[in-house]
Amino acid sequence: MPDTNNKVVCPDCQAEIKGEKLSVGDILECSECGTEVEILSIDPLKYQELIEEK
Ligand SMILES: [Zn+2]
């Protein structure tokens, strides 16, 4: 994944998810589809879709 900037893209709908200050462990919610993404690492930026148990 060639992401070197601080841009999180929704793994579900590819919409950009904007966060003011990202930090490890943050949970960002996609404003388009509601998918939640957990920040795993800042440099390099890594994140993963958070699967909620129902
Ligand atoms: Zn989305």
Ligand 1 geometric centre to CA of 43 (Å): 23
Residue 4 has pLDDT above 70, yes or no: no
Answer whether residue 31 is part of any domain. Answer: yes
Answer whether residue 22 is part of any domain. Answer: yes
SS3 (DSSP) at 31: coil
pLDDT tens by residue, 13-53: 999 998 778 999 999 999 999 999 999 999 899 999 998 77
pLDDT band at 3 (very low <50, low <70, confident <90, very high): very low
pLDDT of res. 34: 95
CATH number at residue 27: 2.20.28.160
This prediction has a pTM of 0.78
> Which amino acid, residue 37?
V
Ligand 1 geometric centre to CA of 16 (Å): 8
Q: Which structural domain range is residue 23 located in?
A: 8-50
Distance CA 24, CA 31 (A): 20
Answer whether residue 3 is part of any domain. Answer: no
Ligand 1 geometric centre to CA of 31 (Å): 7
Answer whether residue 43 is part of any domain. Answer: yes
Ligand 1 geometric centre to CA of 49 (Å): 10
Q: Looking at the 3D structure of the chain, how many domains does it have?
A: 1
